Amino acid sequence: MVTHDQVQRDVAHDNTVISEAWLHLFASRADTSITLRIMHVEGESLQYESSSDAIRICLATQKIKDIKEILESGGHDYTTHEDPSLPTERIVTQDPLGNEVLFTPQANTFSMPSSPEIKPVHSKKLPDVLSLSDEPRKNIGILTSGGDAPGMNACVRAVVRMAIARNCRPFFIYEGYQGLVDGGDKIKEAGWMDVSGFLTVGGTVIGTARCAAFREIEGRRTGVHNLIKRGIDALVVIGGDGSLTGADRLRAEWPEHVAALEKDKRITEAEAQRYRTLMIVGMVGSIDNDLASTDMTIGACSALERICESVDAILSTAMSHRRAFVVEVMGRHCGWLALNAAISTGADYLFIPEAPPSKDDWQTAMCKTLKASREAGKRTSLVIVAEGAIDRSLKPIKAEYIREVLSTRLGYDTRVTTLGHVQRGGAPAHFDRFLATMQGAEAVEAILRAKPETPSPVIGMLENKITTQPLKEAIELTSEVAQAIEKQDFARAMELRSESFSKQLASYKEIANFNPASKDKLPAEQRLRIAILHAGAPAGGMNTATRSAVRLCLNRGHTALGVHNGFPGLMRGEITELDWLTVDGWTICGGSKLGTNRDQPGPQLGAIAYQLQKHGIQALLVIGGFEAYTAVLELADNRTQYPAFNIPMVLVPATVSNNVPGTEYSLGSDTAANVIVRSTDMIKQSASSNRRRVFVIEVQGGNCGFLAVTAGLSGGSTTVYAPEEGVDLTRLQRDIAHLRTRYTKELGNSEGRVTLCNEKASPIYSTDMIANIYDAESGGFYGARTAVLGHLQQGGTPSPLDRCRANTMAIDAINWLQSRCWDSMEIPDEDAVRLPPSQLKRKYFPRVFTNTPDTAAVIGVVGSEVRFTPISDLVAHTDFARRVPRTIWWSAARQLVDILSGVGVDIENGGCSTLYKSCAIDLTAEDLMRLYGQHGTIDKLEFNFPE
């Protein structure tokens, strides 16, 4: 707001302006912003012709009586309106531009009574006002093409609602490119409520179909004609690499098609000028996760969940009958599904296209491996094979042939299960909904930013960041994988996958099977005694991490010691040696098999040091949440007092709250988010059946709003209450006003709604209180209920994402501990580093001794990279009072929760008062070449803790 109280002369209108104020309301788009000039003039008021774009303005004031006197003294028309709920009447009048102005004593008023009896003032013509933006409103077509993938509907929903919020018009194009060619009723404008319920539905509601006509130039020209006639100047395509290639080709040919259509008189000259360019944005919907320049594609995570659910069930019957199973999963040119399924289910053997068996006689190698596991006591054998698996001479490896080999050579009762299209179906998992929603919103932003010369982008994800990449180069990289396989250049094929893919494959091969001979890999003096301890609340993935760590230790000759019942168990000496068979089935087990609690080591540091010395523990792997973080920090801080603490120690973050500094994801957070989303789906179903019900659902997270925000976005929450922003009456008034508005307009066809509330969102406004306020202020339009999910979020089978992350972090943690231990054995001069006699109770150093800060660390997932950060370095980035990191990466998701639920959105006309700041990182073709051609890094994708 800009004001002045100096008397000035308004030259344009020849009036003396005693005082004036300029108020500017900033909107998401410049051409929907509003500027008000309020003037106190000397003499007769300015009068203009009323505008055809008149608006309604609501002003809150307690001086209603004074306003009436001013209007009457100036001879202005007004009407009064009684409201029993208000202390005074309301007044409606018009300003000289014909805008209706409401004066009311009630704040946050979003509607006004009609006043047809007020006569607008007419005088001289209003001077022309330049538009802040002459850019026409975008009309965005949305189509899904190729194989369906869970999460496509979530993506469509996000594009539709974000387009409306950004004052664009979205259009459904049904049946993919076939609908584009057919036109007519296959292209329809999409409304806000048309995508209601899309989040929970698998497949694609708007359909997909093969289209031979689109492969021909005349078919594509017909599609161009249909787009122009519907006024569509931008296209969002959700599909695989073939679908995106078709979209890019359509854009390249667009000028040629427009010229031909104008020449044939099928479109007018004005239409040809108006639609001279087409903007295309692609998003990859593919369960294979086969786009080379992205870490994850829409649908891959859900497909992995279907595979794991099926294989988990198969393993129980296999164990009963001592059977072997060969399970075929999808993946023609990409082994991502097969590899991650093998890690998540503990498969004994794996076949993928990018990495064929290293030996020509792979049959003998496979039989030897499986036989060794059976001899170690395992009752089952499981082989995962991708549908595109081949040997090094490109000969296909089929599931049925593997069955024959196992039955003939080993005599196993072997069965084949081909999962087929089960992998494509079902409700999408939390991560696919989250990814699809974030990418869908960014697709609209990419369209609004684009210039005619902007290359067609594809929305991807790299290093846990949403990216926009040049579509053409991304597809070329993907095609290069298949070409490398055909040329038998398997090393290049692996290079084109992410670095994490190669590391996952290497770690899987090392821990998949029991190999007694592997103890000879390390000389006796390099073998270690490594303790594994769980601390804090249980979280999905704790047992998976333990299993991977134990198996790696045993195959290298180390001794893996399990500490039961957390730090109290360590103090009491509850330590046992873990063997291969004990941890074999821990992959799919939730909770903590070792036992865990929140107790800190502080009261019994001396007893803990004694047990470490007694059992000869040379390295410590702690798996847990914030309690584990503070415990490791305490041990590191007391190294000078207790020499037994001078060993390498590392924390693997595992907590549903995802509040451990040094990592973007903690084990268990994805499992908990899936529980919340599934529960939300069921509760919304109940609420929708009642038609007029709102549920306030309490979720865990402590003082970290990660679960509430991310699960709220993927579950379709109306809003979320998180500790980072708190709860106050103004916020509650806004949310209640939104609910009342929506239920008023949806009368008779209302949908159920949910609100997620973090357990510590507010010390005053509890979940019950928020629900009671909702209910009391509903005006009879809806009722409010509560649901507390509680410890459901900490239990259940770990999600595949948590299992894979657990495996990666555990393997890297053991490698790091091993390296730090070996480094500490190399002490050239003991006397130079020996502690003073007062602090050292033994004559000689233990074989492993290190007290440098970098040997007590937190392992974290930062982007797609696994990073070790000294725990002492993280202290400055930790809010210990609130038990959270000082920085968060998921703030962009919080903005979208409100926008996509309609808060602040003019649902009927378009536009939004809620600001959204794009979070996408723009990558160029040169960036992709640096990543995948030169195996370098990109600064703009790097995350570093703020100084």
User: Greater confidence, 917 or 599?
Assistant: 599
By the 10 Å C-beta count (0-12 exposed, 13-18 middle, 19+ buried), 309 is classed as: middle
Q: Cα 263 to the chain's mean position, in Å?
A: 47
99 vs 842, higher pLDDT: 99
Q: Which of 162, 198, 59, 196 is nearest to 904 (CA)?
A: 162
DSSP 199: G
The pLDDT, as a whole number, for residue 131 is: 30
CA–CA distance, 601 with 33 (Å, rounded to integer): 58
Contact 185, 151 (CB under 8 A): no
- In angstroms, the CA 853 to CA 860 distance is 17
Answer whether 648's CB lies under 8 Å from 854's CB: no
The DSSP code sequence of 483-539 is HHHHTT-HHHHHHHS-HHHHHHHHHHHHHSS--GGGGGGS-GGG--EEEEEEESS--
Return the closest-CA partner of residue 342 out of 377, 302, 315, 372: 315
Write the DSSP string, 61-108: -S-HHHHHHHHHHTT--EEEE--TTSSS-EEEEE-TTS-EEEEESSSS
Closest CA to 821 of 634, 650, 610: 650
Q: Which pLDDT tens digit goes with each residue over 52-63?
A: 455 677 777 878
CA–CA separation, 102 and 79 (whole Å): 10
pLDDT tens, 415-424? Answer: 999 999 999 9
Residues 564, 595: contact at Cβ < 8 Å? yes
Lowest-confidence segment of 9-18, 204-213, 587-596, 663-672 by average pLDDT: 9-18
As a whole number of angstroms, the distance between CA 649 and CA 407 comes to 46
Asked whether the predicted pLDDT for residue 129 surpasses 50, the reply is no
DSSP state at residue 324: E
Q: Which helix (H) or strand (E) holds 894?
A: helix 891-901
465-470/457-462 β-pairing: antiparallel
Residues catalogued as catalytic = 288
Least Cα distance to 289 among 221, 357, 241 occurs for 241
**Which pLDDT score, from 0 to 100, does residue 19 have?**
66
| 470-487 pLDDT, tens digit each | 998 888 888 888 888 889
- How many CB atoms sit inside 10 A of residue 371's CB? 15
Question: Which string of b and e fits 864-889 if b means at least 16 CB within 10 Å?
Answer: bebbbbbbeebeeebeeeebbbeebb
758-767 pLDDT per residue, tens:
999 999 999 9
16 Cβ partners below 8 Å, 6+ apart? 7, 8, 9, 10, 41, 42, 43
Interatomic CA distance for residues 353 and 394, integer angstroms: 9
More confident residue, 430 or 10: 430
Edge-to-edge strands, sheet with 187-189: 187-189, 169-173, 139-144, 234-239, 279-284, 457-462, 465-470, 921-922
Mean pLDDT of 246-270: 94
Res 118: pLDDT: 40
Distance CA 475, CA 248 (A): 10
Question: Worst-scoring range by mean pLDDT, 223-227, 745-749, 922-926?
Answer: 745-749
Separation of alpha carbons 466 and 237, rounded Å: 17
Instruction: Give the per-residue pLDDT at 402.
Output: 96
What confidence tier does 793 reach under pLDDT thresholds 50, 70, 90? very high
Distance CA 519, CA 456 (A): 54
Specify the long-range contacts of residues 852-856, CB closer than 8 Å, at least 24 apart: 853/636, 855/647, 855/648, 855/649, 855/820, 855/824, 856/632, 856/633, 856/635, 856/636, 856/648, 856/649, 856/650
Q: What is the pLDDT of residue 946?
A: 43
Which residues 6+ apart lie within 8 Å of 372 measured at CB? 513, 514, 515, 516
Residue 106 near residue 86, CB atoms below 8 Å: yes
> 569: how many CB neighbours lie within 10 A of its CB?
21
Q: Is the pLDDT of residue 13 over 80?
A: no
Task: Residue 287: name the closest of 234, 341, 324 by CA.
Answer: 341
Residue 247 CA, distance from chain mean position:
26
743, 781 contact by CB (below 8 A): yes
Question: What pLDDT band is residue 134 in, cutting at 50, 70 and 90?
Answer: very low
What pLDDT is recorded for position 940? 59
Closest CA to 192 of 152, 151, 156: 156
Give the burial string for 924-939 (b: 16+ CB within 10 Å, else e): eeebbeebbeeeeebe
* Residue in the structure block whose two tokens are 């709003």: 705
Mean of per-residue pLDDT scores for the chain: 86
**What pLDDT digit, counting tens, does each position of 832-883 carry?**
545 554 554 444 446 888 999 999 999 998 876 789 999 999 999 999 999 9
What is the spatial distance between Cα 737 and Cα 734, in angstroms, rounded to a whole number? 5
* Banded pLDDT at 34 (limits 50, 70, 90): low
Measure the CA–CA gap between 290 and 309, rounded to whole angstroms.
22
| pLDDT, greater one: 213 or 33 | 213
Residue % of the chain over a pLDDT of 70? 85
Summarised one tens digit per residue, pLDDT across range 695-714 is: 999 999 999 999 999 999 99
Burial pattern 723-732, b for ≥16 Cβ within 10 A else e, equals bbeebeeeeb
pLDDT at residue 572 tops 70: yes
Q: Which stretches within 183-230 are classed as H helix?
A: 217-229
One-letter amino acid identity for 546? T
pLDDT at 462: 87
Percentage of the residues of the chain whose pLDDT score is greater than 90: 64
Q: Distance (Å, rounded) from C-alpha 14 to C-alpha 401?
A: 94
Non-local (6+) Cβ contacts of 894 within 8 A are: 705, 709, 720, 722, 725
Are 691 and 753 in contact, with CB atoms under 8 Å apart?
no
Q: If pLDDT is split at 50, 70 and 90, which confidence band does 103 have? A: confident
Token reading at 63? 């001086």
Report residue 552 as tokens. 């790696």
More confident residue, 938 or 766: 766
CA distance 236 to 170: 10
Residue 773 has pLDDT above 60, yes or no: yes
* 292/476 Cα distance (integer angstroms): 9
What length is written for the chain? 947
Confidence of residue 84 (pLDDT cuts 50, 70, 90): low
Which string of b and e fits 105-118 if b means at least 16 CB within 10 Å?
Answer: beeeeeebeebeeb
Lowest-pLDDT choice from 474-478, 794-798, 907-911, 936-940: 936-940
**Kind of pairing between the strands at 2-4 and 15-25:** antiparallel
State residue 113's pLDDT score.
52
pLDDT recorded at residue 324: 95
Q: Cα(523)–Cα(557) distance, rounded to whole angstroms?
A: 9
Provide the 10 A C-beta neighbour count for residue 433: 32
Predicted local confidence at residue 810, as pLDDT: 96
**Tokens 């038609």 — which residue?**
691
Residue whose structure tokens are 């602040």: 904
Among 364, 354, 305, smallest CA distance to 149 is for: 305
Is residue 173's pLDDT more than 90?
yes
pTM score of the predicted model:
0.83
**Bridge partners of residue 48, in order along the sequence:** 124
Extended strands (E) in 201-322: 234-239, 279-284
SS (HEC) of 845-857? CCCCCCCCHHHEE
The pLDDT value given to residue 127? 34
State the pLDDT at residue 108: 54
Cβ neighbourhood burial of 51 (10 Å; 0-12, 13-18, 19+): middle
